[in-house]
Amino acid sequence: MLKDSLKNKNMYWILGIAAALTLIGIVLSSMPGRETPPARKPLAPEVSEIKEEPTVSVFRHATGKTEQMPLEKYLEGVIAAEIGPKFPAEALQAQAIVARSMTMAKIVRGGVKNVHNTDTCDLPEHFQAYDLKKVTPAISKAVKDTRGQVLLHEGKFAYLLFHSYAGPKTADLREGFPELTKIADSYIEVVDSPGAKYAPDDVKQWEATIPRGELQNIFGSGANLDEIKITKKGPSGRAIDITAGNATVKGYDLRKRLGAQRLKSTL
């Protein structure tokens, strides 16, 4: 019945898996010793007003052109570029739900209209990675199997972050995305990441060589790079302040300027 409903364009495109979580909570609350879960927030207009699959505009940096496509088609390209097909079906499905939630949360906040006048783009630094050429049947199936499913927080699209490897703990927003504290601080927090033990060795252990002149430009001409050290850490242990003599740079700023592929973590 549910699958048939999804085929009808007049039916809600968004399922809102928060509803499923609420049902689970109701079952648990009837068990001895369980507290009654708080009432679920009503859906915000940004969610309730969507009646069918959205069409999104995607700015392509290689061509400088804008493409229009259904959201679910766009998500196939996101998953292909962000994690690729070499993961179990459940991992691809989880990525589809998170990417869909993140995409909608960003779009309702303006997307990249201030940069490209579009909903999305294919540059990870601006929005999310995207590569439709890398889509495989497994990726398409993961998107299809989770069609319309999103994560909600207090009736709104949850602004989510994802990563390839979080080390032993996920990061606090202040350690990596301080600009998001007003949006997602109430539900993104530091938690243990037990899956870290399954990460490949070349992901868990890495090193980066940064030219001294490049660091000097970042810290300033008066910085003493012979005295560089971490002077403040966040709740997960990631560097917040990195000091070189009398000059201090935020850990997330240093990573942003060097590039996330070079400085893979501040942990």
pLDDT for residue 243: 97
pLDDT value at 17 more than 60: no
Q: What is the mean pLDDT of residues 13-37?
A: 40
What is the rounded CA–CA span in Å between residue 263 and residue 186? 28
**pLDDT greater at residue 217 or residue 199:** 217
Q: Which of 87, 119, 83, 115 is nearest to 99 (CA)?
A: 83
* Cβ contact 17:151 at 8 Å: yes
Note the pLDDT tens digit of each residue in 150-167. Answer: 999 999 999 988 877 888
pLDDT for residue 27: 32
17-26, 119-128, 229-238, 256-265: range with highest mean pLDDT: 229-238
Q: What is the mean pLDDT of residues 207-216?
A: 94
pLDDT value at 4 more than 60: no
Token readout for 243 is 């000091």
Q: Name the percent of the chain lying above pLDDT 70.
A: 85
Mean model confidence pLDDT for the chain: 84
pLDDT for residue 150: 94
Q: Which range, of 27-31, 58-62, 93-97, 253-257, averages the lowest pLDDT? A: 27-31
Note the pLDDT tens digit of each residue in 121-132. Answer: 998 888 999 999
47, HSE (Cβ side, Cα atoms, 13 Å): 24
pLDDT for residue 94: 94
Note the pLDDT tens digit of each residue in 85-119. Answer: 988 999 999 999 999 999 999 999 999 999 999 99
Tell me the angle at which helices 251-258 and 212-219 cross, rounded to the nearest 10 degrees. Answer: 130
pLDDT for residue 194: 87
pLDDT for residue 234: 95
pLDDT for residue 57: 97
Note the pLDDT tens digit of each residue in 159-206. Answer: 988 877 888 899 999 998 898 888 898 888 999 988 878 888 877 888
pLDDT for residue 38: 59
What is the rounded CA–CA span in Å between residue 71 and residue 83? 18
Q: What is the mean pLDDT of residues 64-74?
A: 96
* DSSP secondary structure, the chain, as one string: -HHHHHT-TTS-S---THHHHHHHHHHHHTSTTPPPPPPPPPPPHHHHT--SPPEEEEEETTTTEEEEEEHHHHHHHHHHHHT-S-S-HHHHHHHHHHHHHHHHHHHTTTTTTTTTSSSEES-TTTS----GGG--HHHHHHHHHTTT---EETTEE------S--TTBPPPHHHH-GGGHHHHTTT----B-GGGGGS-HHHHS------HHHHHHHH-TT--GGGEEEEEE-TTS-EEEEEETTEEEEHHHHHHHH-TTTS----
